[in-house]
């Protein structure tokens, strides 16, 4: 795996061949890795770090619980693996169900049919848990990890001060339609996270997927999210049925979705979220 140097201390790979984007922060005495892709690509990521530095890798920070970001954690078993406490809870639940030892061969078989590009990367999969969790905020040296929620309930951002670099995880899909249909996704918190990022002293944003980016992309996505929210809530308050809300073609134009179901599943999830909100609190 080849890294691109993006600042004094930060190197990334945003090719997306082996899963979500990954990066490293080279500190004085040790290295912090961010996200881990899939097992095979996770090992390749780990091995490639020595092309950049001889310092030991001491930490792996996970931005959220999705498999394309955490399945490679096993290559960092000797490190302190850091994630939000809800990330640990989610992985624990999945280890008992869809990611159990018995289910993993099935998961790999399914991938051969549904995600053939991913299947070879799953070889040797063993899902492991973070060994350090946090609630709102966690520091590693001067690196700040902040929980935001949004894309998932455990989504967190990683700020590298001085370098003015931010790892946004999957809060940002650059130049592509975001996956907002996770059962724990919260579009309101996502909007708050975008606003928080725009207030930060950040020049370079490393998204979860897509090329290096900056606040212009965040601003663009924030505008779209807000426009969809206001239109969708308006339709919900007029009792417009879900199919009509999803099919509505007056939302501002935005990226096409990588996968055909992403847009629909995302908008359905948001519709349900705001419909519940209306029932509970009214708007």
Chain contacts with Zn ion (rule: CB under 5 A): 66, 170
Cβ neighbours, 10 Å, residue 122: 22
Q: What contacts 247, CB < 8 A, 6 or more positions away?
A: none
Q: Is 24 helix (H, G, I), strand (E, B) or coil?
A: strand
Determine which helix (DSSP H) or strand (DSSP E) holds 167, and give its type and residue range: strand 165-173
Considering beta carbons, is residue 133 or 184 the nearer one to Zn ion?
A: 184
- What is the nearest approach in angstroms of Zn ion to the Cβ of residue 229? 20
Of the candidates 182, 175, 172, 177, the one whose C-alpha atom is nearest the C-alpha of residue 257 is 177
Q: What contacts 281, CB < 8 A, 6 or more positions away?
A: none
**Which residue(s) pair with 80 in the sheet?**
59
- What is the nearest approach in angstroms of Zn ion to the Cβ of residue 250? 28
- What is the nearest approach in angstroms of Zn ion to the Cβ of residue 151? 6
Considering beta carbons, is residue 66 or 263 the nearer one to Zn ion?
A: 66
- What is the nearest approach in angstroms of Zn ion to the Cβ of residue 171? 9
Are residues 132 and 80 in contact, defined by beta-carbon separation less than 8 angstroms? yes
Q: CA dist 120 to 14, 110, 163, Å?
A: 19, 12, 36
Considering beta carbons, is residue 153 or 170 the nearer one to Zn ion?
A: 170
Quote the CA–CA distance of 140 and 245 in Å, as a whole number: 44
- What is the nearest approach in angstroms of Zn ion to the Cβ of residue 5? 25
Considering beta carbons, is residue 55 or 181 the nearer one to Zn ion?
A: 181
Q: What contacts 216, CB < 8 A, 6 or more positions away?
A: none
- What is the nearest approach in angstroms of Zn ion to the Cβ of residue 164? 24
Considering beta carbons, is residue 40 or 168 the nearer one to Zn ion?
A: 168
Considering beta carbons, is residue 46 or 90 the nearer one to Zn ion?
A: 90
Of the candidates 232, 138, 141, the one whose C-alpha atom is nearest the C-alpha of residue 191 is 232
Considering beta carbons, is residue 170 or 217 the nearer one to Zn ion?
A: 170
**What strands lie across the sheet with 156-160, from one edge to the other?**
137-140, 143-147, 156-160, 165-173, 204-209
- What is the nearest approach in angstroms of Zn ion to the Cβ of residue 71? 12
């Amino acid at each position: 795996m080849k890294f691109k140097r993006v600042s004094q201390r930060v190197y990334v790979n945003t090719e997306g061949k082996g899963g979500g984007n990954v990066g490293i922060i080279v500190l004085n005495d040790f290295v912090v890795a961010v996200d881990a892709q899939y097992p095979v690509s996770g090992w390749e990521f780990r091995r490639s770090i020595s092309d950049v530095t001889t310092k030991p890798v001491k930490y792996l920070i996970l931005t959220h619980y999705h498999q394309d970001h955490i399945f490679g954690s096993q290559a960092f078993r000797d490190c302190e693996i850091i994630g939000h406490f809800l990330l640990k809870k989610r992985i624990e639940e999945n280890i008992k169900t869809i990611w159990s030892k018995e289910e993993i061969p099935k998961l790999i078989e399914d991938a051969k049919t549904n995600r053939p590009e991913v299947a070879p990367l799953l070889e040797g999969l063993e899902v492991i848990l973070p060994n350090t969790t946090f609630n709102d905020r966690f520091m590693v040296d001067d690196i700040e990890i902040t929980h935001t929620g949004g894309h998932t309930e455990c989504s967190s951002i990683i700020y590298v001060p001085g370098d003015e670099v931010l790892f946004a995880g999957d809060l940002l899909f650059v130049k592509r339609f975001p996956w907002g249909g996770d059962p724990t996704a919260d579009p309101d918190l996502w909007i708050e996270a975008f606003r928080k990022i725009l207030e930060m002293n950040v020049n370079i944003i490393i998204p979860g997927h897509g090329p290096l980016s900056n606040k212009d992309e965040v601003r663009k996505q924030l505008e779209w999210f807000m426009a969809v929210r206001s239109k969708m809530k308006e339709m919900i308050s007029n009792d417009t049925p879900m199919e009509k809300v999803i099919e509505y073609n007056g939302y501002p134009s935005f990226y096409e979705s990588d996968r055909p179901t992403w847009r629909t599943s995302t908008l359905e999830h948001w519709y349900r979220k705001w419909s519940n909100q209306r029932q509970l609190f009214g708007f």
